[in-house]
């Protein structure tokens, strides 16, 4: 047998980056290997040969501890908290009787309690990880051992074993597919655990092994595989099979990866190549990390500072003791000598120093950390008990799976979200269509009567009962025999790669490579053109009840460059016709000139569908003569058999015949968003939270969903696409994008300055609102972009970070996976971060699970911002573990994301309430608690410091020992705990209506070093008053009998009583003072309060402003060729999931309008829907449809488009501002189907720097009941705006 001795050159792109790049988040198996694995050699059925390479076993471990390591490792982690180490040090000091004034139990009991509670919590979390690992490791698998199949646990599977998989089983390890029960060694898999995609994919064994279906043949198989080392690349595999002195190339199409599920395949056999931690699934899994909040990290720093302050006080008092003992104490030596260990004043001062360290340690008592844990536990229960985060459909409540990160929820700046299953339901439905210039589909007018669902059963007994359509005019057109309509649905029933299974007469199940194709074929089925079956050379349909068999002459396959597919068929009459469907950007260019008028009408329809966020396709056909077919068939056959440039020759042949086609119409498919996704993203954006979507889907799908969920809008200044294939091209595209941002920002700012003359500059005080907050992208800026592609000359050096931070306008960035791989390299990180972070939204396409984690780590490293990752599949686990906060959605892709998350719930829309309500409240409560706690303890402790100057620096305490012990536990515990658990500055509805209230947490304004010093200064001032006022009163006071009134106990009790009263009253007084001290903040609340499109909450949500991506289907490339070869023909195949009934996401119908009056009236609640922000400006103009520019895609350019500019004038604004809010939900019979309204009206006159006029004074008035009249009177803007912004909302 001949094998390769050296590393194949083709593996360099895989191996070398792995050696260069530091692989984070992998299990410890790699570190156990003594050498770097450059290539892997696996011999089938030979464990002895494979064991000498010491490959990892198939056992996985995601837990942190075991029985032996739990105690030392957990204590080590806990004593990383500076406070725990500090209290341990104090405990040691208290065990020394010569210096201790307090009993040791005052420290050891609470310290042991805190350590025990934390240890129990960590042990519980790790127990569930162990339980999950054991469940996976103990799964059974059939392993071929010595010629017979034996059941083995997954953990006992070894590299080189041959295992048998049956239908619906998980793949145990990364396998080389050897044979299958399907023809030609095919099998079907679902890869949701890996990439989140639920559509099935095809894998095929090497031809030489596909016939080894018998156990005896497999037992004698001794082939050897030489392949690349373990890596995290899900879409790439390079290797060679050596068997019987021949070699066969291996690709990713021959591999079954761990985490996949075998579907629609009775059985298959595979050879284990990678096992356990070496599998690509585990290579993409992140390591379980110990997460701490930013407040915890700040607390560590503050404890060190406090300890330094404590040492300084101890030194001062020790020096005072030395001076006093030398000058005064020496006079008492004759009758009051020093204790035996003390023989001079210096040693006395040394002991006094440590005594004061013990006495003054209450500046940071251990009860602080006990109280913090209690408060966090209470906040976690509030999340668990929140009925508004309970999903009745799946009977799932929100769950706080950790208690340590609650306040971090109030500081999130970046959200990283998966797409499939997180933003979308991954359910496609045929929604609208355009046929011969006539559009069909649902009415989007929310005021019109809702049409009823069509019943296809009387018309077509083969109709799918789960298909929903509402426009009866289309069905009537089919019934009357309209030729264009019939040809339209005939195309949909023939031009596809769907496989059909007929379980019984009339019971059809479709198996589609893409859910888009399944939706189109199902639509044709319901309208009377039923796809029944196919063979390599025929397609059988039932047309209007009549069976018809077409001869399939050719499939012109789909790929990402062509963006279309075609079939050539011969009908029973002998006529040859080509049917084509694809992106309108490429298909309309190939039409016959006589279609110009129809093309214009259809293009308008496509624009309308795209504006609704629907995925569009154009359909066309052409007749082919026999002579033309013969000629083209010969050229196609030559191109297909070509050995060089086969793909290019096939593309040229396809291009030759796909010309002069006749346009039939267009389709519009809705990829259903989860309920409330657009509203949630809009509100989170108003809270200055940047949302990045990291998805494994292709670029076009991701961009479409971006428009659908309102991440991308036509009001954006520009949308940039990065799609370079080399480091240099990616760098140039990023720099061109930055230069474009700077140019547009300067142009926009220049226009604003001209229109803003005479306006007072908006001042932003320390209340969570940045000065110079970035504004919204305006229609004027979009018009400046003007629908031009990103064609710029070579860029200059990158601009400074300060310049990028001051970018105004709204930009978005779309980057492909191959470009992202280059952007994540060490020398490109800064380029990518500076460009991406200047954008309002970022979409990363075709990314691997590990790349998701790397993007999160990149932002954590460069921006020092709090990050949140949300996903629902196993492919999101590494991202969830890498972010500061991980949120899992209990969706259709298993519970792996939930098990790895910190918080979990059932719907993406609950994220809005988790952050803006629970997160904001938790941050606010914790900050107020810490400020008050430090205040009251400095006021309590500093009394000892002042008393030292009057007691000879003898380390005598003022208070009774039990009062010192119980001060934080009993006397002052309830007020501070009540404030930390229950305090609310505003109700939950106001938090949702005013997202800008979230911003102080992002800026960390409520508890920082400055606030800390203010609190301790106030505490020191209080201690001065508490000590010296009673001291001055009692020092010279006498009773009526002449006996001095003052004694030590009276003074101590008086001071302690005053202390308890003062700090208890201060709980409420401090809040009132803080609220009253808030100054009016200028006119404009920074950030973009941008309006959104309208849609009904009924069957269809019209999502405003979407760019057409071009096509809405994408079966696996080469699948058409597989069909015509006949290799995948099997009648017993199962189908994909049945399409569920429509349940469209609701969207905001109109902007919330409130009538402004001079009297204070609180805003009304908006039902049980997630409240949108309240209207701050009364002007509500029509939404802008001006186009954003999608620049420079090398692979998948997106068509330019110029929308219709909105009507922007003062009169329309003023007219719209007088409209009143719709009637309440109780008065509306269709309340459940009506959309809630979003706030904000755009100020078009002058266009203020914030982009949306709003006064924080009105917010303050709504929150605190007082009005900032100064801000209203000092804002000389346009009268209509001034009127709006001076009134309470």
- Residue 1265 Rama label (left phi>0; alpha psi -120 to 50; beta): left
DSSP 486-536: HHHHHHHHHSS--EEEEEETTEEEEE-SSHHHHHHHHHHHHTTEEEEEE-S
Angle CA 826–827–833, to nearest 5:
80
- Calpha distance 146→791 (Å, rounded): 65
Active-site annotation, residues: 418
765 contact partners, CB below 8 Å, separation of at least 6: 1078, 1079, 1081
Question: Nearest-CA neighbor of 1151 among 1092, 1205, 1099?
Answer: 1092
Consecutive H or E run containing 1022: helix 1009-1035
Residue whose structure tokens are 């023939």: 494
Residue 400 pairs in a beta bridge with: 903
Give ∠ CA 426-429-430 in degrees, rounded to 5.
150
SS (H, E, C) 1109-1154: CCCCCCCCCCHHHHHHHCCCCCCCCCCCCCCCCCCCCCCCCCECCC
Cβ neighbours, 10 Å, residue 950: 13
Helix (H) or strand (E) holding 50: helix 47-51
Question: How far apart, in whole angstroms, are the C-alpha atoms of residue 166 and residue 177?
Answer: 13
Beta bridge partners of 428: 671
Give the number of other CB atoms < 10 A from CB of residue 913. Answer: 23
Q: What are the two backbone dihedrals, phi and then psi, of residue 261, each rounded to the nearest 5 degrees?
A: -120, 130
Beta-bridge partners for 887: 870, 903
Please name which of 201, 410, 272, 194 lies closest in space to residue 885, comparing C-alpha atoms: 410
Q: Which residues, including other chains, have CB under 8 Å from residue 738's CB and lie 6 or more apart?
A: 795, 798, 799, 804, 834, 835, 838
Stated as kind and residue range, the H or E segment containing 203 is: strand 200-204
Q: Collapsing DSSP states into helix, strand and coil, what is residue 646?
A: helix
Element (H, E) at 962: helix 961-966
Residue at token pair 């947490």 = 1001
Q: DSSP code of 1216? A: H
3-state secondary structure of 591: strand
Please state the three-class secondary structure of 256-322 as a single string.
Answer: ECCCCEEECCCEEEEEEEECHHHCHHHHCCCCCCCCCCHHHHHHHHHHHHHHHHHHHHHHHHHHHHH
CA dihedral for 1047, 1051, 1053, 1054, sign (positive or negative): positive
Q: Which DSSP state fits 762?
A: P
Tell me the C-alpha distance between 266 and 268, whole Å: 7
Task: State the burial class of residue 1247 (Cβ atoms within 10 Å of its Cβ: 0-12, 13-18, 19+).
Answer: buried
Q: Residue 313 has which token pair? A: 């006080």
Kind and range of the H or E element at 240? strand 239-243
- Phi/psi at 248 (5° precision): -135, 130
**759 phi/psi in degrees, rounded to 5:** -85, 140
> What share of residues in the chain are helix, strand, coil (percent, to 5)?
45, 15, 40
């Amino acid at each position: 047998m001949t094998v390769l001795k050296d590393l194949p050159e083709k593996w360099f792109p895989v191996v070398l980056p792995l050696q260069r790049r530091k692989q984070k988040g992998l299990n410890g198996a790699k570190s156990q290997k003594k050498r770097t694995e450059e290539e892997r050699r696996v011999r089938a059925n030979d464990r002895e040969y494979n064991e000498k390479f010491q490959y990892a076993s198939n056992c996985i471990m995601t837990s942190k501890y075991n029985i032996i390591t739990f105690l030392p490792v957990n204590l080590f982690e806990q004593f990383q908290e500076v406070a725990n180490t500090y209290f341990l040090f104090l405990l040691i000091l208290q065990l020394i009787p010569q210096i201790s004034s307090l009993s040791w139990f005052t420290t050891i009991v609470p310290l042991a309690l805190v350590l025990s509670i934390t240890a129990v919590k960590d042990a519980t979390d790790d127990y569930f990880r162990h339980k999950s690992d054991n469940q996976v490791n103990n799964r059974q698998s059939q392993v071929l051992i010595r010629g017979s199949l034996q059941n083995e646990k997954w953990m006992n599977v070894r590299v080189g074993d041959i295992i048998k998989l049956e239908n619906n089983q998980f793949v145990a390890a990364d396998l080389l597919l050897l044979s299958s029960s399907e023809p030609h060694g095919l099998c079907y898999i679902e890869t949701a655990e890996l990439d989140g995609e639920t559509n099935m994919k095809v894998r095929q064994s090497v031809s030489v092994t596909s016939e080894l279906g018998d156990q005896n043949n497999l037992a004698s198989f001794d082939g050897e595989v030489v392949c690349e080392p373990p890596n995290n690349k899900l879409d790439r595999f390079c290797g060679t099979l050596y068997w019987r002195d021949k070699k066969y190339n291996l690709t990713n199409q021959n591999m079954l990866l761990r985490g996949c599920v075998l579907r629609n395949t009775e059985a298959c056999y595979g050879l284990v190549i990678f096992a356990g931690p070496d599998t690509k699934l585990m290579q993409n899994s992140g390591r379980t990390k110990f997460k701490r909040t930013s407040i915890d990290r700040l607390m560590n720093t503050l404890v060190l500072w406090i300890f330094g302050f404590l040492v300084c006080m101890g030194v001062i008092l020790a020096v005072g003791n030395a001076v006093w003992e030398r000058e005064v104490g020496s006079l008492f030596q004759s009758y009051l000598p020093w204790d035996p260990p003390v023989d001079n004043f210096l040693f006395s001062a040394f002991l006094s120093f440590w005594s004061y360290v013990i006495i003054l340690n209450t500046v940071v008592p251990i009860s602080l950390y006990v109280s913090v844990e209690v408060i966090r536990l209470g906040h976690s229960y509030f999340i668990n008990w929140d009925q508004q985060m309970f999903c009745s459909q799946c009977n799932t409540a929100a769950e706080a799976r950790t208690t340590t990160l609650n306040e971090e929820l109030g500081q999130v700046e970046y959200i990283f979200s998966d797409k499939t299953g997180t933003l979308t339901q991954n359910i496609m439905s045929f929604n609208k269509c355009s046929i011969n210039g006539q559009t069909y589909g649902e009415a989007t007018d929310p005021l019109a009567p809702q049409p009823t669902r069509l019943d296809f059963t009387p018309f077509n007994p083969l109709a799918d009962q789960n298909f929903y359509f509402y426009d009866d005019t289309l069905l009537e057109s089919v019934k009357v025999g309209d030729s264009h309509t019939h040809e339209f649905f005939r195309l949909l029933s023939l031009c596809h790669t769907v496989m059909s299974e007929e379980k019984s007469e009339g019971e059809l199940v479709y198996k589609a490579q893409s859910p888009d194709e399944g939706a189109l074929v199902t639509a044709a089925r319901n309208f009377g053109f039923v796809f029944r079956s196919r063979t390599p050379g025929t397609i059988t349909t039932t047309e209007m009840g009549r069976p018809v068999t077409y001869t399939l002459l050719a499939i012109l396959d789909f790929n990402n460059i062509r963006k279309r597919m075609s079939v050539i068929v011969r009908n029973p009459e002998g006529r040859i016709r080509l049917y084509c469907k694809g992106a309108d950007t490429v298909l309309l260019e190939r039409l016959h000139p006589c279609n110009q008028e129809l093309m214009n009408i259809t293009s308008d329809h496509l624009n309308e569908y795209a504006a609704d966020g629907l995925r569009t396709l154009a359909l066309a056909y052409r007749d082919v003569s026999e002579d033309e077919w013969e000629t083209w068939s010969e050229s196609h056959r030559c191109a297909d058999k070509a050995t060089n440039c086969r793909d290019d020759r096939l593309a040229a042949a396809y291009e030759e015949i796909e010309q002069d086609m006749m346009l039939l119409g267009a389709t519009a498919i809705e990829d259903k968003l989860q309920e409330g996704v657009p509203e949630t993203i809009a509100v989170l954006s108003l809270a200055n939270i940047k949302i990045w979507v990291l998805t494994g889907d292709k670029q076009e799908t991701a961009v479409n969903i971006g428009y659908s969920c309102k991440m991308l809008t036509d009001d954006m200044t520009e949308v940039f696409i990065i799609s370079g294939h080399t480091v240099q091209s990616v760098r140039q595209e990023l720099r061109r994008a930055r230069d474009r941002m700077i140019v547009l920002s300067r142009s926009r700012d220049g226009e604003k300055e001209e229109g803003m003359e005479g306006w007072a500059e908006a001042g932003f005080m320390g209340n969570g609102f940045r000065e110079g907050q970035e504004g919204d992208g305006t229609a004027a800026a979009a018009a400046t972009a003007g629908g031009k592609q990103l064609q710029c000359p070579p860029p200059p050096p990158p601009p400074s970070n300060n310049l990028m931070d001051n970018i105004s306008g709204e930009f978005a960035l779309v980057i492909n996976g191959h470009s992202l791989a280059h952007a994540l390299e060490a020398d490109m990180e800064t380029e990518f971060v500076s460009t991406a972070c200047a954008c309002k939204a970022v979409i990363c396409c075709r990314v691997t699970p590990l790349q998701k984690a790397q993007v999160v780590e990149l932002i954590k490293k460069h921006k020092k911002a709090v990050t949140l990752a949300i996903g629902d599949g196993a492919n999101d686990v590494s991202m969830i573990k890498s972010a500061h906060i991980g949120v899992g959605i209990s969706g259709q892709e298993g519970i792996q994301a939930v098990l790895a998350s910190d918080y979990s719930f059932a719907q993406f829309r609950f994220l809005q309430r988790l952050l803006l309500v629970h997160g904001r409240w938790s941050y606010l409560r914790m900050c107020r608690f810490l400020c008050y706690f430090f205040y009251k303890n400095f006021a309590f402790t500093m009394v000892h410091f002042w008393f030292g100057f009057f007691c000879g620096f003898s380390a005598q305490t003022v208070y009774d020992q039990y009062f010192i012990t119980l001060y934080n536990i009993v006397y002052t515990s309830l007020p501070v705990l009540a404030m930390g658990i229950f305090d609310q500055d505003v109700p939950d509805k106001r938090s949702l209506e005013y997202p800008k209230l979230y911003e102080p947490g992002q800026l960390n304004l409520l508890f920082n070093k400055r606030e800390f010093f203010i609190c301790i200064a106030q505490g020191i001032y209080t201690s001065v008053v508490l000590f010296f006022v009673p001291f001055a009163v009692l020092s010279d006071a006498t009773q009526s009998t002449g006996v001095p009134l003052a004694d030590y106990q009276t003074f101590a009790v008086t001071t302690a009583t005053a202390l308890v009263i003062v700090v208890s009253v201060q709980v409420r007084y401090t809040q009132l003072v803080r609220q009253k001290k808030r100054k009016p903040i200028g006119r404009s609340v920074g950030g973009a309060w941008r309006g959104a499109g309208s849609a009904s909450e009924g069957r269809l949500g019209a999502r405003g402003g979407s760019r057409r991506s071009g096509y809405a289907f994408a079966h696996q490339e080469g699948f058409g060729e597989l069909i015509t070869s006949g290799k995948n023909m099997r009648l017993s195949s199962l189908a994909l999931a049945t399409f569920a009934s429509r349940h469209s996401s609701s969207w905001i119908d109109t902007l919330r309008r409130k009538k402004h009056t001079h009297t204070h009236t609180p805003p009304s609640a908006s039902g049980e829907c997630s409240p949108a922000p309240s209207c701050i400006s009364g002007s509500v103009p029509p939404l802008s449809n001006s186009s954003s520019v999608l620049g420079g895609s090398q692979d998948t350019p997106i068509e330019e488009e110029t929308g219709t500019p909105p009507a922007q004038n003062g009169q329309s604004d003023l007219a719209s501002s007088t409209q009143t809010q719709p009637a309440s939900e109780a008065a509306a019979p269709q309340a459940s189907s009506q959309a809630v309204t979003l706030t904000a009206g755009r100020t078009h006159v002058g266009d203020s720097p914030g982009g949306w006029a709003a006064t924080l004074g009105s917010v303050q008035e709504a929150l605190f009941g007082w009005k900032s009249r100064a801000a209203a009177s000092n804002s000389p803007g346009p009268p209509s705006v001034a009127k709006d912004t001076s009134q309470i909302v």
